[in-house]
Amino acid sequence: MDLSLSEEQVMIQDMARKFADSELAPVAADLDADNDQQLFQENLAKLAELGFMGLNISSEYGGVEAGSVAFSLAITELARACASTAVTTSVTNMVAEVIQAVGDKEQKQKYLPKICSGEYKAGGFCLTEAVAGSDPAGMKTTAVKDGDDYVINGSKIFITSGTFAGVFVVWAVTDPEAGKGKGISCFIVEAGTQGMVIGKSEDKMGQKASPTNEVYFENCRVPASAMLGQENKGFAIAVGELAGGRIGIGSLALGVGLAAMDYARQYMTERQQFGQVLANFQGLQWKLADRYTDLEAARLLLMQAACNKEQGLAFSQAASMAKLFASEKANLACYDALQMMGGAGYIKEYPLERYARDVRITSIYEGTSEIQKVIIARELLKAVQ
């Protein structure tokens, strides 16, 4: 088995690392503290210029066709420096992939170049509702046919990039009489469409520079041509794209966990107690060994899921395993790294407290760890029933 990266994958990884080191790392703490949206969005525009908003999109539409493995590598490198930038990049790529996967030729030609180029600053993925988070099939937002249009009413919560996304993919119930999850359709809704209202940005624990908003639909009228895929077949789209999104969030978690451990490892070689550097204490050495082993295992799980997706193989179970393991182990890595630094880890002068806040959400969004276990168990049982 050849686990080496291709020349193109190495190039994209290196490009992401260099951008993260030069553009993101120097401002990440300030973005966390001050939420400078102009600076944040300027960095997103630079990433779009480099091709990072269409990593798995056809060159016909302005993408770079680098594949899922390159996408995972890039998100990990960006997250080492700034989780807020990484999550926005991940979700925007996911929105582009939805449109590429099920959109018609006109939809692809209209929207994908604008996402890939950065003309749309980001893409919004409007699935979650107050009553339909871990259970998206229970959504209440509706889209009612009215002549040649659909009229959308309802609301979505926890929408990444809501304040500045240029286009949204929105799920709504189009057949309320159908069984649960069977009467849902997907629509493309452009920012500024009358009847779509963006709520305030949430005041979050971490990933503060990435705005997260409630989005309201009040008699929001879109043409029938805005539907993605077939009517009442939209839930399968959501399920498929969430699996891909889990590779992105697992990769993000890995990046934050590695950043935390790298910082703590360096600190251990400099800080002294009892007349010697912390790196000489076996208890801390074992923590270091355990956490880096966990993160390397997470990387391999992510690579397997990304490879499966790239090759057109079934990847849902692999993606859930990777996301579950990577997010849980990255959380542990951040907290262990903070512990290894003692009181210094708790002080904002050092980045550990930011890493700990940023990583916490990775075991919640794109499907909680508990939901990943449900998915994994379901897939395992399918094989023997």
Active site residues: 366
CB burial of 65-76 (b: ≥16 within 10 Å; e: otherwise) equals ebbbbbbbbbbb
Helix, strand, coil percent values for the chain (each to nearest 5): 55, 15, 30
Six-digit token string for 204: 């979050």
Instruction: Report the alpha-carbon distance of residue 306 to residue 198 in Å, rounded.
Output: 33
List, in order, residues 6 or more apart from 310 with CB less than 8 Å away: 67, 68, 69
List, in order, residues 6 or more apart from 25 with CB less than 8 Å away: 80, 81, 82
64 phi/psi in degrees, rounded to 5? -110, -5
- Tokens 């990072």 -> residue: 52
Does residue 97 come out as left (phi exceeding 0), alpha (psi in the -120 to 50 range) or beta?
A: alpha
Burial class (CB in 10 A: 0-12, 13-18, 19+), 177: exposed
Six-digit token string for 210: 């990435």
